[in-house]
Structures are given as structure tokens and as C-alpha cells.
Amino acid sequence: MTNTLSPSVAQSQEPATPIVIVGHVDHGKSTLIGRLLHDTDNLQDGKVAQIIASSKKRGLKVEWSFLLDSLQIERDQGVTVDSTRIPFLLNKREFVIVDAPGHRQFLRNMITGAADAEAAVLVVDAAEGAREQTRRHAMLLHLIGIRHVIVLLNKVDLLDFDQAKIEAAEKSVSELLTKLDLEAALFIPASARDGDNIASRSDRMPWYSGPTLTEALAQVPSPASRAELPLRLPVQDVYRFDDKRYVAGRIERGRVRVGDTVIIGTQKTPAKISSIASWHTAPQISAAAGQSVAVTLEPDVIPDRGDLLHKSETPPVAASRIRTRLFWLRQEPLRVGESFHLRLATAEHAVTVTSIDSVVNLDDLQKYAGEEVPAEGFAEITLSASETILFDPFVPGTADGRGVLVDRQQRIVGGAPLLGPAAIADGEKVIHPTGSTVTTQDRTRAKGHRGGVFWLTGLSGSGKSTLARATEAALFADGVDVTVLDGDTLRAGLCKDLGFSEADRTENVRRAAEVARILRDAGQVVLVALISPLLSDRALARQILGEEFAEIFVDADLATCEQRDPKGLYAAARSGKISGFTGIDAPYEAPVSPALHLKTSAGSVESETKTLASFIKDTVRLSGALKARS
Ligand SMILES: Nc1ncnc2c1ncn2[C@@H]1O[C@H](COP(=O)(O)OS(=O)(=O)O)[C@@H](OP(=O)(O)O)[C@H]1O
Ligand SMILES: Nc1ncnc2c1ncn2[C@@H]1O[C@H](COP(=O)(O)OP(=O)(O)O)[C@@H](O)[C@H]1O
């Protein structure tokens, strides 16, 4: 809560109604926010005096935009001011203005759901009319599904409050919104600087009979009551206390009561809610959307993080091909075939762009077929996943239907509100991976350890294969189900069609990661021994394998590896018999922060094997002892 606003804010019990104020730069957003807060008595007296004093110093009439600047100053001074969310009270009802410092941060806030909004005020300079950011912001409102749009035709004093000129401005903006399937709830002619039609009716536009902005805001529907929607409880994590397992998460939609039977989405397993707890409160009989809870289930089945609890009669959509809208943040264009992670509620799914269905021309806002989505462009695309994704098409007022695309370096590259399952193109081969009825937990209990992938990377001759095999033997003796995937072995079979070009090495890594994932999901500990020289390829492996991926740097300097040269390949590379040899005339990029760094130039195989085996057991072991083999 900012200390700028009067203490009366947030007295209301109703959830705040989030609104966004958007529009082209210099069309008056900041002035409007300052004026709105002042004219609705949401500013402490000191702040008003501060703004008036700052304005006078500059020979200005009151410059309301200084309010946001002062919020910026408070933020810069480290005062915990979150100027991206500015609460204010309007006739005992709480609103929150979702603003953002800067255009790109605003776009990011909007697409990542940081700025969930129920309504929008689109500020347009009536004299200038719609400009580039007007169109971009209006497009964004369409993209994230905000239906309640109030257009504030600002700075009408520059048009001498002339009705004909103002109505002409209204007409041009109305045509823009129509192209975007956006219908403005209404148009309000105003002057934010002077306060006309903001919180009080203007006496300079007697011809205008519509509401002031504050009257219009009072008509905005309060956040759709998500509690009336079908239950959706995404699993954040599973905790164990006093021999009980608690499934924790925030209820996104619907309600849950003790005694309800829920379905664990991906496992399709029914379970009964036997208790509901939430932080700092006594156990509850029920909980509703917006509440973070920890529930216990009967039987004591354990969902994976990212799974979804729902009722059997109202299941989510299940599909591995999904149509989404897209706001593309990356500065490079998006093309078909690119892979990302789709973050959806608490789940992350590896997805590939299988088609770009339409791209929006921001100039005329028409949709056209396109081969790529330009930087900061809008489009509709189809994503395909190697697994079934449970989701609900995005609706305003909810956050769980809005996906976020993340690249291999974990950067947010786009916002993707989900539209629905994608139709199958004629003749298209669509796969539907089957889920196992044997759960991860069944396997873990049977083996006494979890599955996991330990990815050994290093130069040729650094000791990957030697350590992988020695560690495999040690772990097996200790009762661990373990498998090695060695580069040479893969290249003799599964990857025998691959060479050592960058593209082939990427494909080699991808295949190894997919095989490792299948083995890990079957409860195996998998030791992958691959040079896998590039950071981007190892990031691809991490994307495919998710968090349970430990990078092990098998570190021997080039001189040591050349000296060892167990297969004579360094000599062959030096003599030019083979080219593109890693370390000689092909790059190796060392891990930046490996989970384990083994320096094998001077170490001993035995000591490194012991270190690696111990690290792996600590990572995959459960509370009980492993079942050592005689
Ligand atoms: N040009 C070139 N570059 C690197 N390595 C080469 C090359 N040609 C053959 N070899 C032999 O192939 C093994 C590397 O295969 P990987 O699958 O581990 O490599 S990669 O991950 O695809 O880069 C590697 O095995 P290790 O020595 O066990 O690493 C080499 O012996
Ligand atoms: N500390 C050590 N760790 C691993 N290998 C070592 C070590 N010291 C010597 N070596 C020898 O180095 C060579 C490593 O070859 P290899 O395991 O095939 O490497 P890579 O699989 O990385 O190509 C083997 O001959 C191994 O016996």
C-alpha cells in the first residue's frame, strides 16, 4: 500500500476492481491518474501540497502528472511503493489502477497476468486522435479479453470544447475499436488537467449528458465471481508434515469442501478431500477461488506439481494442440517450429509452434496470413505439446487460462491467452501420448528412490564415460535402478544418422534428453554422458527434462584430454584427418553453474565416482534407506 494515499483506502471488504489506464504517450494518462486520485479524495493533504508546490516551482498550474513522478521518486528512494498498482476508493468501493513504469514493462505486466484487469480506460488526445500506442494498447486489451472499455477523449480544451470536433474524434476512435472487435462502453469528453467530467460534470460542455468518469467506473462489474466457476486447484507443491501429505495451491476457480471428491487431472485418479487448511488459520470446512490452501486427500495419492484438481462433472479441456492468441515480446520474429515452455498456472509444458494462423497488421489492424510474427506483434498461433495439457480457455477475471511463453534462457517472450483445442489439419499426423496408470509415486515407493537425470558434459577424453560407468556400478550395488546413455552408444544406434555439425549435435542432445525423460519418468536414475558442448543445447535438454535435471561438469583441460586421447581422435584431429573436433576446431562452452563440478585432470576415478554417486543418492533418495543389492 503506498503511503501517498489516504488511509481510508482498502476499508472495503469487496475484492478491489482492477482497472488499467492505457493510451499513447503524452495523451494524459499520468495527469488523469493524479486528477482522479485528487478529485476522489484519495490523496493525503501533504501530497496535494507537494504537487502544488512542485508545479508552482515550474510556473505551472497544478501538474497532476507529478503524482506518478512522486510515486516514482518514492520508489527510487526505496520506499516500498508499488506504483504499478495504485488502490483508490470510490464511494466505499475499492478499485486498483494497474499502471507500469514504461511502455514495455506495461506490455509485460499485461501479458504475464501481473495486471489482471476487469476494465480499461483508453485515454486518447482528442486533438491528436488515435496514434501507434493507442492501437497497440487497444490490441492488447482485445488480446487479454478486456471487454469493458471506457474511452476518455482527453484535452478537449484544445478543441475549445467544440461538440462537432469532439464527435469527429469519437468517430475515428470508434472505427479503430470496431476493427478490433472492441466495443467501447462509452466515450467521455474530458480534460484531465482541469478536471472536466473526471469526478465532476463539466460546465463547459452542456451538450454532453453522459456520465463522468467516476460515475462510469461505478458501473464497472466487480471481478467476475470466480467462485461460481468449476473448481480448478492447480497443485503448487506437496508437503509432508507429521506423516501427512498436504497438497498446496491457490484455488483459481470454484469452491472446495471437505468430503468433496476431486480428480487429480493428469492421473485421472479420484480422491476425497479429507481436510482443508490455509496459512495462519484453523482448519476449514470449505474454501473458494482466490484462497491459498493445503488439502489432504483420501486415499493418500500424491499429485505432481503442476497437476490440477477438479470435479469429475466439470473437467477442463484436455488437448495436446492448442490455439492461442499471442502477444510477441521478443525483438526477433517468431517462426513455425520454434520450441518454448508454456507456463500455465503452476504447470510448465514443452511446446512447439506448429502454425501461425494469423498475424495482425498494427496499421490497419487487419489479420493476414504470415510466415512469422514480428517483434512485439500480435497473432493467433497453434502450439503442440508432447503431452496432454489440461486447461480452460481464457476468460477475463481469471488468470489460469492465460499462458506465458518462456525461452530456453527462461526469458518471457510472449503472452498466450488460450483459446481452445486446435482442430486437426487435414491429413495432419497428431499424436496423443498415453499417460501411465503406474504413477510416479508408485514407482518411487517400489524403488525407494526417485528418478532423475544427471547430465555429464565435458571434452572428449575428460572422463564422462569412465565416470558414468563406474558410478552406474556403484549405484546399482547400492540398490539404485540406474541406466547410462553414452554418446558413443547412442551414435551407434538411435543417433547413427547424425554427424557433428551444430544442428546434428543439437538433435543428438534432443534425442538423448527425450530418452532420458522416458527413463526418468519410469523411475530410473539416468546418467547421460555426452560432450553436449553448447550452453544452448544443454538448455534445450533442461527445457525437455524440466527442473529434475542436474548438470555435471566433467572438467579436464584440453592438454590432459589430448594426452589421454584414449581413441586417438585428438591426434587425428591435429593431423587434419577429422574436422570439427570439439576443443580443437569446434567450440566447447563450459557450464556456468553446474550442480556438480568434477575436476578430473588430477583427480582419481575412484574419488570422483564416490563423489558423484553420493551426490546422486542424496538427490534421489527418499527418507528411507535404499535396498542395497548383495
Ligand atoms: N568431431 C567430433 N567432435 C567430438 N566428438 C567426436 C567427433 N568425432 C567423433 N567423436 C566421438 O564422438 C563422441 C562425442 O559424441 P557425443 O554424442 O558425446 O557428442 S555431442 O554431444 O553430440 O557433441 C566422442 O566420444 P567421447 O570421447 O566419449 O566424448 C568422440 O570420441
Ligand atoms: N580422474 C579421472 N576421471 C576420469 N577418467 C580418467 C581420470 N584419470 C584418468 N582418466 C582416463 O581418461 C580417459 C577418459 O576417457 P573417457 O571416459 O572415454 O572420456 P569421455 O567419455 O569424456 O570421452 C580414460 O582412459 C580414463 O581411464
3-state secondary structure 270-313: EEEEEEEECCCCCCECEEECCCEEEEEEECCCCCCCCCEEECCC
| Among 450, 368, 398, CA closest to 626 | 450
Q: Are 552 and 465 in contact (CB under 8 A)?
A: no
- The pLDDT value recorded for residue 57 is 79
Q: How many CB atoms lie within 10 A of CB 336?
A: 14
The contacts of residue 324 (CB under 8 Å, 6+ apart) are 380, 381, 382, 383, 403, 416, 417, 418, 419
- The pLDDT value recorded for residue 9 is 43
Angle between helices 29-39 and 45-57 (to 10 degrees): 140
Order across the sheet with 119-125: list the strands.
85-90, 93-98, 17-23, 119-125, 148-154, 184-189
DSSP letter (8 states) at residue 525: E
User: Does residue 487 line the site of ligand 2, with CB under 6 A?
Assistant: no
| Among 373, 332, 387, 361, CA closest to 179 | 361
- The pLDDT value recorded for residue 10 is 42
Q: Are 321 and 421 in contact (CB under 8 A)?
A: yes
For residue 30, indicate whether it is catalytic. no
- What the block records as the C-alpha cell of 407 is 525461452
- The pLDDT value recorded for residue 248 is 92
Return d(Cα 81, Cα 14) in angstroms, integer.
23
- What the block records as the C-alpha cell of 269 is 485418479
Q: Are 323 and 382 in contact (CB under 8 A)?
A: yes
Q: Which of 8, 30, 532, 601 is catalytic?
A: 532
Q: Are 121 and 21 in contact (CB under 8 A)?
A: yes
- The pLDDT value recorded for residue 300 is 82
- What the block records as the C-alpha cell of 90 is 470510490
- The pLDDT value recorded for residue 425 is 66
The contacts of residue 164 (CB under 8 Å, 6+ apart) are none
- The pLDDT value recorded for residue 139 is 79
- The pLDDT value recorded for residue 381 is 95
- Cα 165 to its chain centre, rounded Å, is 44
Residues with CB under 6 A from ligand 1: 460-461, 464-465, 487-488, 491, 500, 505, 508-509, 530-533, 567, 569, 578, 580-582, 586
- What the block records as the C-alpha cell of 229 is 466457476
Q: Are 439 and 267 in contact (CB under 8 A)?
A: yes
Return d(Cα 290, Cα 294) in angstroms, integer.
13
Residue 442 has, within 13 A of its CA and on its CB side, a CA count of 8
Model-level pTM? 0.54
pLDDT digits (tens, 9 = 90+) for 489-535: 999 999 999 999 999 999 999 999 999 999 998 999 999 999 999 99
- The pLDDT value recorded for residue 113 is 58
Return d(Cα 441, Cα 527) in angstroms, integer.
21
- The pLDDT value recorded for residue 613 is 96
pLDDT digits (tens, 9 = 90+) for 132-142: 888 888 877 77
What is the distance in A from the centroid of ligand 1 to the CA of 420? 43
Residue 98 has, within 13 A of its CA and on its CB side, a CA count of 22
Q: So what's the ipTM on this one?
A: 0.97
| Among 16, 517, 113, CA closest to 345 | 113
Give, for 477, the enclosing helix (H) or strand (E): helix 464-477
What is the distance in A from the centroid of ligand 2 to the CA of 560? 10
Q: Which neighbouring-strand residues pair with 245?
A: 240
| Most ligand 2 atoms within 8 A of CB, residue of 564, 584, 597, 612 to mutate | 564
- The pLDDT value recorded for residue 104 is 64
Position of cell 492501437? 135
| Most ligand 1 atoms within 8 A of CB, residue of 469, 536, 562, 569 to mutate | 569
- Atom number, ligand 1, closest to the C-alpha of residue 498: 22
Ranges of the chain with pLDDT below 50 = 1-5, 7-12, 75, 78-83
Give, using CA atoms, the residue closest to atom 12 of ligand 2: 463
